[in-house]
Structure 1
Amino acid sequence: MSVPHARRQHREAAAAHAPPPDTLTPADRYGELFVEVQRQAVFSDSKTFVDCAPRHSPEEILAAYRARRHRPGFDLSAFVRSAFTLPRLAHDDFVSVPGRDILQHIEALWPYLSRAPQQHPPRGSLVQLPQRYIVPGGRFAELYYWDSFFTMVGLPGGADSLVEDMTENFAFLVDTYGHVPNGTRTYYLSRSHPPVFALMTRLCEQRGGHAATDYLPQLLREHAFWMDGEDGVQPGEAHRRVVRLPSGECLNRYWDDRCTPREESWREDVATAARSGRPQEEVYRHLRAAAESGWDFSTRWLAEDASGQVATDLATICTTDLLPVDLNALLHFLELHIAEVGERHGDAGLAGTFRQRAGGRAAAMARLHWDADQGFYADYDWRRQRRRRALTAATLMPLYCGVAGPGEVHALAHTVRTRLLAPGGVATTEIMSGQQWDRPNGWSPLQWIAVEGFARCGESALAEEIRGRWLQTVQEVYAREHKLLEKYALRPGTATGGGGGEYPLQDGFGWTNGVVACWLQHRDAALHL
């Protein structure tokens, strides 16, 4: 039996024989104990408690809390620390060695960011997986969806099986939950992340793992997840992640099936909703939907007035009102990929259906998302039936996913050179807001999308300039601090780590390691599409 076939059988057996997945979140399981721990800020980071592993059964812990909480001198913090094992940082036992070059550092760090199924603590929020995987680092000690693709591109040549293992894990998640969750915690199960599984299957095949045709059932199921409700939704209406336009086409938005505070950011969401003056459930839904986008948070998701002026207060968030250009570009790629895989699989009918879908989506994107006057793709407000005015790095996803034509490529190159190209790479937006997915921060996945997209479309000089600026930024910070970071500030002068957002700057860091390692090891761009 071949190794790929054996792995597929292992994954299918794991999905078939596993007990029904535990989908209860910490808020579901611990009720008023969860609320009090978060409300009283027992831990400075809201994510800490939801990542704790119970020392006893959750039912016993909750019963003990209810029995003791009104007793004189009850200490909630001491109770929690006695009842739970606190999470550790993903790589807190790793020691960076000064003098190593950056590639040696990344190679030494991979084992500390690797996880195996037997390492999962029981009865906690962590979702069980059948194969090994890489976590981002710092407070992010679980598998994340879109993060993982950018990590996988840089895994060393001797670890191709780890690329396949991670692809297998994502296929397992689709088989088990019907979609790939944001991350492998139960509190992430109600939402997904930018859909990059099709990119993973192509990368896995390129690295000598399973053929993409082996994942056709999971590719179809992921597409069905994003298109759920398509058949019943009427023009001008929406259902979950699907919006049917007045003209009849369906495009997609980000969504979350829950409308409660995110458990990993409970205090922050409660505070945002309280100052919004809006129905709390509405605000929570928008916050959660933005978390599904991966861009949590950015002025990209905030209210925009008639003149195009964007708010900077997170309380104005309106994510589900928008049709994001990057999401729809990725779904276009998924549809084309299914058509190609279906053709290779011998299913001409399936291939034709999905080529037609992709063509319809591309036409709708050209009409709604492309701003010819400004020379970039923008998000579309489907409620107001107008294109957003703000420029963001999401404009590059149609380029990367093959939606943009030659005219759009030339215009995008000009726009990026004049408006988004910063000293350290491509800026995320043009707006300084204090949110982490805004200027001045730059992010590895956005640099990858820009560089690989421009390179494959003939703009090699711009691609090389962006790549060179990003690598210089990362290497300058590494030379000074001996670590790789989640995000970087793209300002003139000394390169620094990025700021803003809900938590301190994290190091590790999976997707930075992956992109940097790939670009330093392979000088030719456009390797993966």
Structure 2
Amino acid sequence: MREFLFLLFIVSPVSGKPQKDPRGPNIIDETADFGTPEHDNRVHTELTELTGPEIARLIGSDYFNGSVLPCDNETAPGQWMVYCSGRLLQAVMAVKLYPDSKTFVDQPMKVNRTGESIMEHFEKRFPKPIEEISKKEVAEFVDEFFDKEGNELDVCELPDWKPITEKLAQIKDDTYLAFAQRLHFIWIQLCRQMKPEVKEDPSRFSLIYVPYQFILPGGRFREFYYWDAYWIVKGLIASELYSTARMMILNFAHIIETYGFIPNGGRVYYLRRSQPPFFAPMVYEYYLATQDTQLVMDMIPVIEKEYIFWSQRRSVNITLETQEFNETVRMFQYHTEADTPRPESFREDVLSAEPFTTKSKKRSFFKDIGSAAESGWDFSSRWFKDHKNLTTIETTNIVPVDLNAFLCYNMNIMQFFYQLAGNPLKHMEWSSRLANFRQDFTKVFYVPVRKGWYDYNLRTGSHNTDFFPSNAAPLFAQCYDPLNSQLAVDVYNQMENSGAFSMSGGIPTSMHKETNQQWDYPNGWSPLNHMIIEGLRKSLNPTLQQKAFVLAQKWLETNMQTFNVSNAMWEKYNVQEPQGKLATGGEYEVQAGFGWTNGAALDLIMTYSDRLEYKGPLLEGLVGTPPPHKSSSSSSSSSSSSTSESSSTVIPSSTTGSSSKLLAIITVTIFYFLF
């Protein structure tokens, strides 16, 4: 039923034909020979020309002995030899069996197969060097011992989904209402749950078991991801999918109880790295929307357990020199222990490391690569010494302003939760920790002459004062005194002076233009745009709150206009040319879906539901038609105080709606119940 409904949605309501692909005619053809060095050089521009056998020999080198693996016998006893190490993994990558390296490590082992037995079969069948094993031989072996990727998941029903919600019905503008309804329906397509065998026979799978259903990002991402989930939860709350949001939180609690932290994503090959710590903020947002105090009480010890992980395994001492004395403070950084190629990007990492001539330099490179992946920004000029080339990456030398702001936010949430729990001693403990950390945070990251917060480099003892949206993370996390209104204004002005707010489609991830990395110019990402918008909205400055609204409009129109030509939401966008042009760069093609993009858009639409007005060209790809152009006075007359409303607050709307709004609601409802 619902699958058929979405077939209706991916066809143009005007032409009856599929919409054009906004990636353009030059996207990589998946039938092409991806084993050629020409393809690898398109992705990794720093590589020298290598022949196929040379690439295979390079990939077949010893990367595992004496190294820290992404997963091992302790963390993944039945899977590590297949998904995190071994000659089979190298052979698959050497012959470029799939266009995407991630495909193989997502494939389950067949029933009655074990990692040990598969490796025994492989060694007996292929005692020869990796470079002598043919693609046909590898393909036949994989077909014999592995199932297709994604087979371990079932599409699921959202128990709390309904076609029309009270919140969405209150959206004032007809076009935004139609867009929000389309996003609301996408949740159905992204819902997954584990098949029973993942729990019963976990050693056959790279997938990490969780007990409840969850929302996928989409595309190649066939598992849950950590920091994506914060914006997904925000979107689920906007869609009144409170039970689904709660299940997402309970899944992460299960993971923390099992592993002591939340890995990058739901695969065993992610078990050496995490992602930005947004579990506590998820619980907080859910509490604001539901007032579910019992869940907060249940989650307090789980949040503390995750905080211990960051304190013990991801912290670093920094000595600050002053004229009077030296002071040592403790901050957080991204720093994975693994120093081998990432299994999901094994071939790419090996080829990127080709210029390094010693094993120790390669291992340092792999550690920095993995640590950048832990940040979520894989990859960006933010981590490069020369701000240009991946081979100069030094993530482990950088103390990131955003990570520390997020953990500052965690501390603030914890002191609030303990106050809610009626535990004054723990409330005082976390309040004191927060106050002290805010002071240290300012000492480490604030640069008075540049009037803002910036990443700190341990190697140079200096700051990277280039523009990155992460510089605004303290505004979002409120890791400063909100009464210091001028500080927020200064930070905004610094970002504006960089040119970051001049793009027609949103805020870029940096102003570095020639890296070909996905977390650089001209790409804009939903979490970063949302974070800056929310940081400005949370300020006590009416001017900055209005700036937040303008930026929200810009980002949402980019989302809508691209949706109009592609019938899809995407993980990232080209903000320089936003009307239907997608982002490029990085290790894989831009992905559709897309969980956190949907969530950020829905949250922003609900935050400004009484103010948004679409005045652009007709968007034929949306249900219904846009309203007549309205006078600008109606927008400007809206009280600026509405921008400071919590995004979880339902904003009253007019009791009368236009005929096109009713048409949009009725159309979607009829589709749902008919099919």
- Give the TM-score taking structure 2 as reference length: 0.69
Partners of 1:37 and 1:28 in 2: CA distance: 11
1:245 aligns to what? Answer: 318
- CA distance, structure 1, for counterparts of residue 153 and residue 510 of structure 2: 31
Aligned to 1:268: 348
Other-structure match for 1:317? 393
2:439 counterpart SS class: helix
1:10 corresponds to? none
Q: CA shift at 1:521, angstroms?
A: 3.4
Unaligned 5+ segments in structure 2 are 1-73, 157-174, 320-326, 609-641, 650-675
2:188 is matched with 111
> Of the candidates 465, 480, 491, which is equivalent to residue 389 of structure 1?
465
Residue aligning to 2:61: none
Alpha-carbon contact 1:90-1:141 (below 8 Å) kept: no
Pairing 1:51–2:106 present: yes
Of 47, 55, 69, the residue aligned with 2:126 is 69
Question: Could you say what secondary structure the match of 1:102 adopts?
Answer: helix
1:442 is matched with 524
Alignment of 1:244-393 (within 5 A): 244-246=317-319, 247-276=327-356, 279-303=361-385, 310-393=386-469
Q: Which runs of 4+ in 1 moved over 4 A?
A: 26-30, 70-74, 88-94, 119-122
Matches within 5 A, 1:64-143: 64-70=121-127, 75-88=137-150, 101-118=178-195, 121=198, 122=201, 123-143=204-224
- Call closer, same or farther: CA 1:351–1:276 in 2, change over 3 Å: farther
Q: Distance in 2 between matches of 1:157 and 1:480?
A: 24
Contact 1:89 1:140 in 2 (8 A): no
The alignment status of 1:498 with 2:587, answered yes or no, reads: no
Moved more, 39-48 or 53-62: 53-62
Say whether residues 1:215 and 2:335 are aligned partners.
no
| Change over 3 Å in CA distance of 1:402–1:493 after alignment to 2 | closer
SS at match of 1:145: coil
Kept in 2, the 8 Å contact 1:30–1:62? The answer is: no
Conserved? CA contact 2:84–2:269, under 8 Å: no
Note the C-alpha offset of 1:415: 2.1
The structure-2 alpha-carbon separation of the partners of 1:277 and 1:301, relative to structure 1 and needing over 3 Å to count, comes to farther
Determine the structure 2 residue equivalent to 1:425.
506
DSSP 3-state at the match of 2:316: strand
Q: Given residue 266 of structure 1, which amino acid in structure 2 is its aligned partner?
A: F
SS in 2 for 1:54: coil
1:165 to 2:247 alignment: yes
Between 1:199-208 and 1:283-292, the stretch displaced more is: 199-208
Distance 1:492 1:411 in 2: 28
Identity %: 29
Q: CA deviation at 1:107?
A: 2.5
The amino acid of 1:479's aligned partner reads: N
- The alignment status of 1:407 with 2:492, answered yes or no, reads no
CA–CA separation in structure 2 for the residues paired with 1:80 and 1:203 = 44
Corresponding position of 1:8 = none
How much does 1:389 deviate? 2.5
Shift of 1:168: 0.7
State the Cα distance separating 1:119 from its structure 2 match: 6.2
Output the amino acid matched with 1:244: N
SS at the partner of 1:245?
A: strand
Cα gap change, 1:492 to 1:398, in 2 (>3 Å): same
Look up the SS of the partner of 2:478 in the other structure: coil
Q: Which amino acid aligns with 1:143?
A: F
Q: Higher relative contact order by CA 8 Å / sep ≥ 6: 1 or 2? A: 2
Could you list the runs of 5+ residues in structure 1 that have no partner in the other structure? 1-19, 229-239, 304-309
Q: Is 2:208–2:266's contact at 8 Å kept on the other side of the alignment?
A: yes
- Verify the 8 A CA contact 1:324 1:379 in the aligned structure 2: yes
**CA–CA separation in structure 2 for the residues paired with 1:157 and 1:136:** 17
Q: What is the CA-CA distance between 1:506 and the residue it aligns to? A: 0.3
Equivalent residue for 2:28? none
Q: Secondary structure at the match of 2:331?
A: strand
C-alpha distance in 1 between matches for 2:577 and 2:83: 47
- 8 Å Cα contact 1:321-1:383 kept in structure 2: yes
Structure 1 residue 70 displacement after superposition: 5.0
Partner of 1:527: 647
- Asked whether the equivalents of residues 253 and 324 of structure 1 are also in contact (C-alpha less than 8 Å), the reply is yes
- How far residue 277 of structure 1 moved from its aligned partner, in angstroms, is 5.0
Partner of 2:18: none
Q: Secondary structure at the match of 1:373?
A: helix
Bigger drift between 456-465 and 347-356 goes to: 347-356
Establish whether residue 479 from structure 1 lines up as the match of residue 561 from structure 2: no
1:510/1:26 CA distance change after superposition, 3 Å: farther
Query: Given residue 98 of structure 2, which amino acid in structure 1 is its aligned partner?
Result: F
Task: Read off the aligned partner of 1:521 and give its amino acid letter.
Answer: M
SS at match of 2:589: coil
Deviation track 1:216-245 (CA, whole Å, cap 9, x = no partner) reads 1011111110010xxxxxxxxxxx411111
Q: CA RMSD in A?
A: 2.6
In structure 1, C-alpha distance between the alignment counterparts of 2:444 and 2:648, rounded to whole Å: 28
Could you report, residue by residue, the CA deviation over 1:108-164 in whole angstroms, capped at 9, with x for unpaired residues? 321221112336755110000011110100000100000011111111544210010
Deviation at 1:185, TM superposition (A): 0.3
* Alpha-carbon distance, 1:102 to partner: 2.8
CA apart distance, 1:269: 1.1
Residues 392 and 428, structure 1, Cα contact 8 Å, conserved in 2: yes
SS in 2 for 1:207: helix
Report the AA paired with residue 409 of structure 1. A
Structure 1 position 513 matched with structure 2 position 598: yes
Task: Give, in whole Å, the separation in 1 of the partners of 2:396 and 2:452.
Answer: 22
Aligned AA (1:253): Q
**Does residue 181 in structure 1 map to residue 287 in structure 2?**
no
Quote the offset at 1:452 in angstroms. Answer: 1.1
